[in-house]
Amino acid sequence: MTTKPQNYYVPAQSIWPIVGAVGLFLIAFGAGFYVQQLNNDQSSGGYILTAGIAVIIFMMFGWFRDVIRESQQGLYSEQLDRSFRQGMSWFIFSEVMFFAAFFGALFYARMVSVPWLAGGSNNEMTHALLWPGFEAIWPLIMTPDGKETQAMPWTGLPLYNTILLLISSITLHFAHVALEKNKRTPLKLWLGATILFGIAFLTLQVEEYVHAYQVMGLTLDAGVYGNTFFLLTGFHGMHVTLGTVFLIILFVRVLKGHFSPEQHFAFQAGSWYWHFVDVVWLCLFIFVYVL
Amino acid sequence: MKTLTPEIDSQPEAHQEHDHHQPPKGIMRWLLTTNHKDIGSLYLWFSLIMFFIGGAMAMVIRAELFQPGLQLVDPNFFNQMTTVHGLIMVFGAVMPAFTGLANWLIPMMIGAPDMALPRMNNWSFWILPFAFLILLGSLFMEGGGPSFGWTFYAPLSTTYSNDSTALFVFSVHIMGISSIMGAINVIVTIVNMRAPGMTWMKLPLFVWTWLITAFLLIAVMPVLAGVVTMVLTDKFFGTSFFDAAGGGDPVMFQHIFWFFGHPEVYIMILPSFGIISAIVPAFSRKKLFGYSSMVYATASIAILSFLVWAHHMFTTGMPVFAELFFMYCTMLIAVPTGVKVFNWVATLWRGSITFETPMLFAIAFIILFTIGGFSGLMLAITPADFQYHDTYFVVAHFHYVLVTGAIFSIMAAAYYWLPKWTGHMYDERLGKLHFWCSVISVNVLFFPMHFLGLAGMPRRIPDYAVQFADINQIVSIGGFAFGLSQLIFLAVVLKCIKGGEKAPAKPWEGAEGLEWTIPSPAPYHSFSTPPEVK
């Protein structure tokens, strides 16, 4: 790579944002239709949704190709690299706030709404008139309406998953260190291992869901415990999936010889994202499973 | 698409010379642009169009309320109008207008070549029209569009809503994605792209206020995404976040929504403070009084905005301790806001003031926004709020802060910077006409609403008791007059783009800032090499 350019690189016109806008439109419109049509047998929404996802994937290939090409040509100054890093940090902050909304719902349900329904605070009459038999216990294995479910224990699969993710964060860190020391073979091995851990995590998560649905009767509509359980772990699982895809892209780029010890924003971003997903899981493990 | 690829490929070689590039011609310029000025114009035009669509809905509302009884529309459609009017004005008119101003002005004000992430900038704009296409499209579907109020309280939006709620939810998701990407761009631009010597305490206040606004946006838009997602699952997938029978609570919806919603109202006013802090000194020909206290006041308002959300729900069931906490925190906000108003007035003090249109709007802002602030203080008092809650008093309050506050500041900004954008002076006579028509009609429109509210007229109803008829007629007449007055604004803008007196680089004698050091109209690329700020 040649000397750093001094000017801030402002890209010329690009087709990809508008492609992405059309893709997002199809996803939102299709998803909206799909959800509306759940109760009848139409399926046009599903097709629109699939088309939207295809467009977004197409956009990602094109957009990433442009960015990678520009990066390989050495057009990116240190200042631009800082823009990317700061942008990624703020994006992760927005993700933190997204999860905060669901953690907020979990805490509110546990600390306020369930105790109040059982007569807590000054709600004796609510309790006596509406659901006199309701008891406030967490996890909420019986809703005020009398729907029963079972609580997911933290031992077993969830514990294995925690260990898996923690190890994956460490292996990714080793990969990063290897990259900074320009040791390409350990970089490939550690990064590959991280991806495998990610996939293993997702597999176990699917197994846990199947177990919850088929054996335990713990479903998405099993009252507020099941709601918070599935939305929190579900959105986390989606983020792990995205993170794994991110890592796979990085792996392909590493195989192609991209990234230098000095400049590897994409790697850094992927690794931040992975660590973020890991921290969310730790919070999940503590507040959803253990406590 | 094929034909465009060579252009993308060839452009890296040309990047050093891109400041000589002229904008490409035709529709592709706007679809594919990465230029902050183009994207700023797109945002501003989008916002103006949405302003007129949302305004047309307000006209429907006022026409129905002209007389008691049901005349023009059925109640369900009336509810759709109030709901979509609110959603459009908040997410389609005010927020994109500020983002448009940020795109146009921030790079010029801090001496940056463009926004930090230009392609993402394009993306964050172009998903917005699609989001509103979905929202507006849902109005024409079977069962109609959203009709649960822009706050979409559960269970109105869950148990009692129609199926188009799914489309509403996903369109809000896209609006949120757009705002977050826009805010990331603004924040990174300000932190990373300032010209050498442009230190923090030299930043124009518009930049400062937008920096803090962007932080608020990134912090709360994801929470909105979370709460609409819960509405979606509650309605379609059998969850019970907001349903007591499953262990949830409808009040929880309000807590999460207003945790987003209250910072959101500051998102819609902080950039206004920045605009007024630019215009008042320019036409007073004085430096802004108390620059640093303005910065600290803005930051204080932002921090406090996270601690006051439940003042929207004093009547919905909370322990007394919580009510008091939120009451006192809310009243605390009057302190930094008072600092700001004091500083603007002190800037006017003994200035050589002239009253061009931007200044007229700015002065009207200071007075009328303060009235809105005072009615806000009245609403903050918990015991009094039990009387005001969900009445037209609340409607009067938030229209004073949003119309004569946010919208007036956007108008002021448009008049102030139009010469820089178009290279022409706007028609001062028409501008003044627009101002006087607006400021008179807007008060006829919103001031009597205070009386309606205090007399007990509830908001969001298509019909009302006969004793409210007189005042409602006055309000409706003010409403139609205000709506028509905005056509003058459209005429001014179009006339200014087409021609008019040539504008010098700095058309306002007292104006300060880097944007006035470049010619008018601003060249397609400004500050390709950063200027030195002394």
The DSSP result for A100-147, as a single string, is: HHHHHHHHHIIIIIHHHHTT-TT-HHHHHHT-TT----SS--B-TT--
pLDDT at residue A121, as a whole number: 81
Q: Do B169 and A98 touch (CB under 8 A)?
A: no
User: What is the structure's pLDDT at A262?
Assistant: 86
Q: pLDDT averaged over chain A? A: 92
pLDDT confidence bin for B13, thresholds 50/70/90: very low
| Contact residues on chain B for A95, CB-CB shorter than 8 A | 222
Q: Given CB atoms, is A63 within the 8 Å cutoff of chain B?
A: yes
What are residue B502's phi and psi, to 5 degrees? Answer: -65, 135
Residues B249-272: tens digit of each pLDDT: 999 999 999 999 999 999 999 999
Q: What share of chain A has pLDDT > 90, as a percent?
A: 74
Q: What is the pLDDT of residue B533?
A: 84
CATH 1.10.287.70 intervals, chain A: 12-75
> What residues of chain B, 280 to 339, have a C-beta less than 8 Å from chain A?
319
Is B311 catalytic? The answer is yes
Rounded to whole angstroms, how far apart are CA atoms B285 and B211? 26
Instruction: Identify the DSSP state of B148.
Output: S
Hey, are the CB atoms on B18 and A10 less than 8 Å from each other? Answer: yes
Instruction: Give me the residue from A18, A82, A98 closest to B222, CB to CB.
Output: A98
Q: Which residue has the tokens 């040539």?
A: B502
Instruction: Give yes or no for A25 touching B (CB within 8 A).
Output: yes
Give the domain ranges of chain B. 32-232, 269-524
Copy the structure tokens of residue A19.
Answer: 């492609």
Residue A9 has a pLDDT of 87
Using a CB-CB cut-off of 8 Å, the residues of chain A touching B18 are: 10, 12
Residue-averaged pLDDT of chain B:
93
CB B94 within 8 A of CB B266: no
| Chain A residue closest in CA terms to B189 | A83
Let me know the angle formed at the C-alpha of B151 by B150 and B152, rounded to the nearest 5 degrees: 90
From residue B132, give the alpha-carbon distance in Å to each of B47, B139, B222. Answer: 11, 11, 19
What angle do helix axes B118-138 and B95-110 make, rounded to 10 degrees? 170
pLDDT band at A6 (very low <50, low <70, confident <90, very high): low
Does the beta-carbon distance from B32 to A143 stay under 8 Å?
Answer: no
Per-residue tokens: B306: 């996270």
Q: What is the pLDDT of residues B33-75, one digit of tens each?
A: 999 999 999 999 999 999 999 999 999 999 999 999 999 999 9
B178 is catalytic: yes
Look up the ipTM and state it: 0.94
Cβ distance of A224 and B246 shorter than 8 Å: yes
Please give the pLDDT value at position A4.
55
pLDDT-above-70 percentage for chain B = 96
CATH of A78-290, one of 2.40.30.10, 1.20.81.30, 1.20.120.80, 1.10.10.10: 1.20.120.80
Task: Write down the pLDDT at residue A2.
Answer: 45
Beta bridge pairs of residue A148: A142
Please name the residues between 210 and 249 in chain A that touch chain B, using a CB distance below 8 Å: 220-221, 223-228, 231
pLDDT at B19: 44
Is A174's Cβ below 8 Å from some Cβ in B? no
Residue whose tokens read 């038999």: A133
B346-392 pLDDT, tens digit each: 999 999 999 999 999 999 999 999 999 999 999 999 999 999 999 99
Residue-wise pLDDT tens digits, A210-266: 999 999 989 999 999 999 999 999 999 999 999 999 999 999 999 999 999 988 999
Binary contact (A22, B130; C-beta < 8 A): yes
> Chain B residue closest to A8 (CA)?
B113
pLDDT reading at B435 higher than 60? yes
Of B24, B167, B241, the CB nearest to A13: B24
Q: What is the mean pLDDT of residues B405-423?
A: 97
Q: Computed over its alpha carbons, how large is the radius of gyration of chain B?
A: 23
Closest CA to A56 of A25, A84, A35: A25
Does the distance separating the beta carbons of B16 and A7 come in below 8 Å?
yes
User: Is-catalytic flag, B179?
Assistant: yes
Question: Which of these, B381, B406, B265, lies nearest to B330 by C-alpha position?
Answer: B381
Instruction: With beta carbons under 8 A apart, name residues in chain B contacting A35.
Output: 166, 232, 236
Least confident of A107-111, A136-140, B229-233: A136-140
Quote the pLDDT of residue B24.
Answer: 83
CATH class of segment(s) B32-232: mainly alpha
Q: How far apart are CA B388 and CA B371, in angstroms?
A: 16
Q: Is B163 on the interface with A (CB under 8 A)?
A: yes
pLDDT at A37: 84
Q: Is the pLDDT of residue B128 over 90?
A: yes
Give contacts of B185 with chain A, Cβ < 8 Å. Answer: 87
Residue type, A155: T
* pLDDT value, residue B21: 60
Smallest CA–CA distance from A59 into chain B, residue: B123
- Hey, what are A255's tokens? 């195989």
Contact B166/A36, CB-based, under 8 Å? yes
Q: How sure is the predictor about A123, in pLDDT bands with cuts at 50, 70 and 90?
A: confident
**pLDDT (0 to 100) of residue B532:** 84
Predicted confidence at residue B16, as pLDDT, reads 41
Give residue-wise pLDDT tens across range B272-295. 999 999 999 999 999 999 999 999
Confidence category of residue A5, pLDDT binned at 50, 70, 90: low
Quote the pLDDT of residue B1: 33
| B227–A contact, CB cutoff 8 A | yes
Task: Tell me which fold the domain B269-524 belongs to.
Answer: Cytochrome C Oxidase; Chain A (1.20.210)
Q: State the pLDDT confidence band at B528, using cuts at 50, 70 and 90.
A: confident
- Residue A110 pLDDT > 70, yes or no? yes
Q: Is B150 a catalytic residue?
A: yes
CB atoms within 10 A of CB A26: 21
CB of B252 within 8 Å of a chain A CB? The answer is yes
Active site residue B262: yes
Q: Which of A32-41, A61-70, A230-239 has the lowest mean pLDDT?
A: A32-41
Active site residue B114: yes
What is the C-alpha separation between A179 and B170, in angstroms, rounded? 40
Asked if pLDDT for residue A42 goes beyond 60, the answer is yes
Neighbours of B3 (CB within 10 A): 6
Residue of A nearest to B25 (CA): A13
Residue B2: is its pLDDT beyond 70?
no
Return the closest-CA partner of residue B233 out of B214, B218, B222, B248.
B248
pLDDT higher at B16 or B392: B392
| Residue A98 reports pLDDT greater than 90 | yes
Q: Over 60: is that where the pLDDT of B530 sits?
A: yes
Q: Among B41, B178, B284, B404, which one carries the catalytic annotation? A: B178
Model pLDDT for residues A169-197, shown as the tens digit of each residue:
999 999 999 999 999 999 999 999 999 99
Catalytic site residue from B340, B389, B424, B506: B340
Whether B136 and chain A come into contact, CB under 8 Å, resolves to no
Question: What is the radius of gyration, based on Cα positions, of chain A?
Answer: 23
Q: Angle B95-110/B270-284 helices, nearest 10 degrees?
A: 50
DSSP state of A142: B
A12-75 fold:
Helix Hairpins (1.10.287)
- B264 noted as active-site residue: yes
Single out the catalytic residue among B38, B64, B114, B385.
B114
